[in-house]
Chains A and B, each alone.
Chain A
Amino acid sequence: MTSPAAAPSVEPRVRRFGRLNLEVRQSIPRWQHALYVILSIVAGIAISAAILLVAGVNLGGMYEEFILLTFFDRLGLSSVLIESSPLILVGLSAAMAFRVNYWNIGIEGQFFWGAIGATFISIYDIGPPGLRLYIMFALACAGGFGWALVPAFLKVRLNVNEVISTLLFSYIAFQVVLNQVYGPWQDPHERFPHSIKFDPVEQLPKIGWEKVHLGLFVGVALVAVMWWLVERSRFGAYARLVGSNARMALAAGVPVALIVFLSAGLSGALSGAAGFVMAAGQEFRLTATMAAGYAFSGIVIAFLARNHPLGVLVVAILIGGLYTAGQSIKGFYGVPEALVQLLQAVIVLCVAASQFFVSYRLRLARE
């Protein structure tokens, strides 16, 4: 045996910064998962409070504004629910597409086509008044569905990147809306760039509690439908496989292209439904600004809800609360809009960061 060369020896020692070990978790109990999410929300609120303190806002009043007047006050809660109605739908839309790894960034375009469909029925008074809202809803869904199918077709047939195509399709939809509200559909009475106001029969009825309208029920009903679709139907079982491993799904006989195509279309239809709820429930007309921000809200909601329909319902209401609280803080304290958005971003980022602690465990290394 050859004589060993002297190996450099390292004495056992403790490293101050090397003592934290990172381990991948194989699994995590539900309560622990929930605990991390709650802790992250608390952390987000704490950081937000610090930011507000620096901005010179009285924190005592802020708590009241942020929590009590938003979620535990009749007027506040009703605003949250109104704010949440379209958010639930765009959240479901993003979740449906993301489930099969189809990155639908064009939610706003599909939202617009939903609103255009509803407005079209309203302007030309198509169908009996009693059925008017149903027809508007159907055409809105069809509009979003149809608009989403073109990029979906390009994706499954020619492998065109849907991130780019759906996004660009949103711009086209926006230009169409501009053309309508500055052109043929412009309100003849007011010279604003929006369409004429919907007739009362074309407006979603109030449910009799403050100003909350039926759009909330549309959202909740579609949450139930989507839960059934993804959790209990064969389509959902296939979609789960496609989303997890498309090649395996294909080899197992799943019609992958069809599932992706339909999921993308369905995502578009849900965005279209959000456009309908916005047009018939809140704006009562087609406007050029009504879709602004819904694509990113939908993506954030789907991400935080981990693409689960019931999760979307909860997260959409919380995000709705965050937006509502932001508006009132802005109103009462004269805090700039940018700061409100910063606070919202901080809280969302904190929740997103909790994923790290769900996936990994930090442990002190033994000496």
Chain B
Amino acid sequence: MTAALALTGISKAFDGSPALDEADFAADYGELHGLLGENGAGKSSLMNVACGLYAPDRGRVLRDGVAVAIQGPRDARRLGIGMVHQNFKLVRPFTVAENVLLANPDAGGGRNGLARAVAEVERYCGELGFALDPAARVDAISVSEQQRVEIIKVLMGGARVLILDEPTAVLTDEEADRLLAMARDLAGRGTCVILITHKLREVSRFADKVTVMRRGRTVAVGRPADLDAERLTELMVGAAVRDDGVLPAHAAGEVRLDVRALVAIRDDGAPTLNGVSIAVKAGEIYGIAGVGGNGQPELAEVLMGVRAATAGAIAIGGRDVTAAHVRSRRRAGLASVPADRYVFGLAADLSVTDNYAVGGLDNGRYGGGYWVATGRMRSATREAIGAFEIQGAVPATRARLLSGGNAQKLVLARELAGEPKVILAHSPTRGLDVRACGAVHAHLRAARDQGAAVLLISEDLDEVLALSDRIGVMNRGRIVAEFARPADRHAVGRAMVDHA
């Protein structure tokens, strides 16, 4: 039988560097089809061809067995292909219903258009089991609710092929499970659902079929049941990579980061940290686990020095830095790997050199204030590129052009350069593929083994469990429980959701 959507021999290059190389893909109605691959494997690019955002250099797109020319999202929509992108395309001050109406003008139409859109949104919510207020403004609802708006938008447009691009990246575990169950349900009712992901778990638990991509090519198609996690990983990364999680015995030293009864408020004035106390010792990784939205980003920002604490105290290496500028904190030995690489981590439009060398400007590593030794900056950057295996980069490359994993390696290279006393790592592997994850974890462990005190804040419980010597659970702006290694996963999980 003919596939609902088939892409054959698709090639696409950007400025001569190939993103897709004769990639093939086929998915059918009634199936949840996982499209698995590392970052930069070409998953999103391939689906962007299907939904008309990219014009392929070569290859054909077949819809129900008929070759079609998709020259833009409007063509894709007419063909019943809809995509929910990673970055939502919503008008923030508009309401849910208004956004839906904007995307599907024919759904409303006429004088009572908005009322009809509201009714439609409610109908879809009922069918899909969503809780969503059609009159709520988009900037007032959570990320997972925004995602539901996107899904309704696409379905209302008549999509019979629904493409979800890394939909769970922004969700908590529980929300992710609910979303994937909904996707399964949609597939069960005859829609062709394509799930772009790099998470093995999602594919093996939810997908009917899986296509694995690597370096722009399709490397395998099969049923998840026939492919175990090891085999899938191997297909994705090319060679077996293991994140063993075995920790060498070590002795923790004196307290390097001492946080006492820290209180802070959010930008809108709501309390977010309600007396956080943590003591991280030299030579240990202290992991903070918690469900999203319990004050983790604010804790990271207060420790970094970009958000003021309203009460409490922070000391680094015995020096009080509660009110100190970031620069003083860094001089005291703080390094930070922020969650949002392109907000706090890198200046996207500057070169790798500019981004790397900022760490050494203050301490005179590149000469005095009156003459910066640009040659030395470049050679140091070149060394760091080699040492941290930052791929696709020379010193003059703009940071924007690096893939997620390589951008994070660049941040790590800079932050670990000065042998920091305290390392703050906030969601250091968010959005990274298996191989880049392993590299980040190895660097953090190596820093720990050299005597740094590492504070790891992550919403990924597996990561916290695998890396941490001690675990603190953060709930409603407090540390509510502490666990020593080896921590019981269920006990940690209970502490995360209790007290709510």
Q: Given A2-B29, A13-B69, A241–B350 Cβ distance below 8 Å?
A: yes
Q: A238 vs B362: C-alpha distance in the bound complex, in angstroms?
A: 10
- Asked if A176 is an interface residue, CB under 8 A from chain B, the answer is no
Chain A residues 1 to 30 lying within 8 A of chain B, measured CB to CB, are: 1-13, 15, 18, 21, 23, 25-27
Closest to A244 in B: B347
Contact A12 B68 (CB under 8 A): yes
Contact A250 B306 (CB under 8 A): yes
Q: A300 vs B348: C-alpha distance in the bound complex, in angstroms?
A: 25
Chain A residues with CB below 8 A from B401, complex form: 26-27
Q: A18 vs B329: C-alpha distance in the bound complex, in angstroms?
A: 55
What is the count of residue pairs linking A and B with beta-carbon distances less than 8 angstroms?
A: 135
Q: A280 vs B69: C-alpha distance in the bound complex, in angstroms?
A: 68
- Asked if B358 is an interface residue, CB under 8 A from chain A, the answer is yes
Contact A10 B350 (CB under 8 A): no
Task: Point out the residue from A2, A252, A255 that lies within 8 Å of B359, measured CB to CB.
Answer: A252
Chain B residues 25 to 56 lying within 8 A of chain A, measured CB to CB, are: 28-31, 55
Q: A21 vs B80: C-alpha distance in the bound complex, in angstroms?
A: 23
Q: A131 vs B120: C-alpha distance in the bound complex, in angstroms?
A: 81
Chain A residues with CB below 8 A from B78, complex form: 8, 10
- Asked if B123 is an interface residue, CB under 8 A from chain A, the answer is no
Contact A7 B64 (CB under 8 A): yes
Q: A238 vs B326: C-alpha distance in the bound complex, in angstroms?
A: 14
Interface string of B4-15 (1 = CB under 8 A from A): 100000000011
- Asked if B86 is an interface residue, CB under 8 A from chain A, the answer is no
Q: A9 vs B81: C-alpha distance in the bound complex, in angstroms?
A: 12
- How far in angstroms is the closest Cβ of chain A from B54? 9
Contact A252 B371 (CB under 8 A): no
Interface 9-residue window, one of A33-41, A59-67, A214-222, A228-236: A228-236
Q: A247 vs B343: C-alpha distance in the bound complex, in angstroms?
A: 6
Q: Given A2-B29, A234-B361, A245-B347, A26–B14 Cβ distance below 8 Å?
A: yes
Q: Given A21-B55, A233-B370, A233-B372, A248–B69 Cβ distance below 8 Å?
A: no
- Asked if A249 is an interface residue, CB under 8 A from chain B, the answer is yes
Interface string of B167-191 (1 = CB under 8 A from A): 0000000000000000000000110
Q: A236 vs B354: C-alpha distance in the bound complex, in angstroms?
A: 11
- Asked if B475 is an interface residue, CB under 8 A from chain A, the answer is no
Chain B residues with CB below 8 A from A51, complex form: none
Closest to B329 in A: A253
Closest to B4 in A: A4
Contact B79 A8 (CB under 8 A): yes
- Asked if B256 is an interface residue, CB under 8 A from chain A, the answer is no
Closest to B398 in A: A27
Closest to B70 in A: A10
- How far in angstroms is the closest Cβ of chain A from B452? 18
Closest to A26 in B: B15
- How far in angstroms is the closest Cβ of chain B from A205? 31
- Asked if B421 is an interface residue, CB under 8 A from chain A, the answer is no
Q: A58 vs B113: C-alpha distance in the bound complex, in angstroms?
A: 60
Chain A residues with CB below 8 A from B326, complex form: 250-254
Task: Point out the residue from A4, A18, A27, A232 that lies within 8 Å of B372, measured CB to CB.
Answer: A232
- How far in angstroms is the closest Cβ of chain A from B336? 7
Contact A234 B79 (CB under 8 A): no
- Asked if A164 is an interface residue, CB under 8 A from chain B, the answer is no
- Asked if B247 is an interface residue, CB under 8 A from chain A, the answer is no
Q: A350 vs B402: C-alpha distance in the bound complex, in angstroms?
A: 33
Residue among B75, B78, B306, B358 having the largest count of chain A Cβ atoms under 10 Å? B358
- How far in angstroms is the closest Cβ of chain B from A333? 45
- Asked if A191 is an interface residue, CB under 8 A from chain B, the answer is no
Closest to A251 in B: B344
Chain B: interface size category: 35 or more
Interface string of B330-354 (1 = CB under 8 A from A): 1000001010001111111110001
- Asked if A366 is an interface residue, CB under 8 A from chain B, the answer is yes
Contact A1 B343 (CB under 8 A): no
Q: A18 vs B73: C-alpha distance in the bound complex, in angstroms?
A: 13
Q: A283 vs B346: C-alpha distance in the bound complex, in angstroms?
A: 48
Chain B residues with CB below 8 A from A252, complex form: 326, 330, 358-359, 414
Q: A18 vs B72: C-alpha distance in the bound complex, in angstroms?
A: 9
Contact B69 A244 (CB under 8 A): no
Chain B residues 62 to 107 lying within 8 A of chain A, measured CB to CB, are: 63-64, 66-69, 71-72, 75, 78-80
- Asked if B327 is an interface residue, CB under 8 A from chain A, the answer is yes
**Count of chain A residues near B, Cβ 8 A:** 42
- Asked if B485 is an interface residue, CB under 8 A from chain A, the answer is no
Q: A66 vs B442: C-alpha distance in the bound complex, in angstroms?
A: 66
Task: Point out the residue from A232, A251, A255, A365 that lies within 8 Å of B374, measured CB to CB.
Answer: A232
Q: A21 vs B345: C-alpha distance in the bound complex, in angstroms?
A: 34
- Asked if A237 is an interface residue, CB under 8 A from chain B, the answer is yes
Task: Point out the residue from B30, B64, B369 that lies within 8 Å of A1, measured CB to CB.
Answer: B30
Contact B71 A15 (CB under 8 A): yes
Contact B372 A253 (CB under 8 A): no
Closest to A12 in B: B69
Contact A7 B80 (CB under 8 A): yes
- Asked if A132 is an interface residue, CB under 8 A from chain B, the answer is no
Q: A8 vs B342: C-alpha distance in the bound complex, in angstroms?
A: 41
Contact B361 A238 (CB under 8 A): yes
Contact B371 A232 (CB under 8 A): yes
- Asked if B437 is an interface residue, CB under 8 A from chain A, the answer is no
Q: A8 vs B159: C-alpha distance in the bound complex, in angstroms?
A: 11
Contact A2 B30 (CB under 8 A): yes
Q: Given A248-B345, A252-B358, A365-B71, A7–B327 Cβ distance below 8 Å?
A: no
Contact B327 A244 (CB under 8 A): no
- How far in angstroms is the closest Cβ of chain A from B420? 12
Contact A240 B350 (CB under 8 A): yes
Contact B71 A2 (CB under 8 A): no
Chain B residues with CB below 8 A from A232, complex form: 371-372, 374
Chain B residues with CB below 8 A from A9, complex form: 63-64, 66, 68, 79
Chain A residues with CB below 8 A from B67, complex form: 12
Contact B15 A245 (CB under 8 A): no
Contact B358 A10 (CB under 8 A): no
Contact B345 A10 (CB under 8 A): no
Chain A residues with CB below 8 A from B75, complex form: 10
Chain B residues with CB below 8 A from A11, complex form: 68
- How far in angstroms is the closest Cβ of chain B from A12? 4
Q: A244 vs B305: C-alpha distance in the bound complex, in angstroms?
A: 20
Q: A238 vs B360: C-alpha distance in the bound complex, in angstroms?
A: 12
Contact A251 B304 (CB under 8 A): yes
Task: Point out the residue from B190, B325, B338, B348 that lies within 8 Å of A244, measured CB to CB.
Answer: B348
Q: A93 vs B494: C-alpha distance in the bound complex, in angstroms?
A: 60
Chain B residues with CB below 8 A from A18, complex form: 71-72
Closest to A18 in B: B71
Chain A residues with CB below 8 A from B347, complex form: 240-241, 244-245, 248-249
Interface string of A145-172 (1 = CB under 8 A from B): 0000000000000000000000000000
- Asked if B156 is an interface residue, CB under 8 A from chain A, the answer is no
- Asked if B198 is an interface residue, CB under 8 A from chain A, the answer is no
Residue among A7, A15, A236 having the largest count of chain B Cβ atoms under 10 Å? A7
Closest to B345 in A: A248
Chain A residues with CB below 8 A from B325, complex form: 253, 255
Closest A-B pairs by Cβ, 6 of them: A2-B190, A244-B347, A245-B347, A12-B69, A251-B344, A234-B369
Q: List 16 A-B contacts (CB under 8 A).
A: A2-B189, A7-B4, A9-B68, A9-B79, A10-B75, A10-B79, A27-B401, A240-B350, A241-B354, A241-B358, A244-B350, A248-B344, A251-B326, A251-B344, A254-B327, A366-B57
Give 11 A-B pairs besides A237-B361, A237-B372 with Cβ atoms closer than 8 angstroms. A2-B30, A2-B190, A4-B190, A7-B79, A9-B64, A12-B68, A26-B15, A235-B369, A244-B348, A252-B326, A252-B358
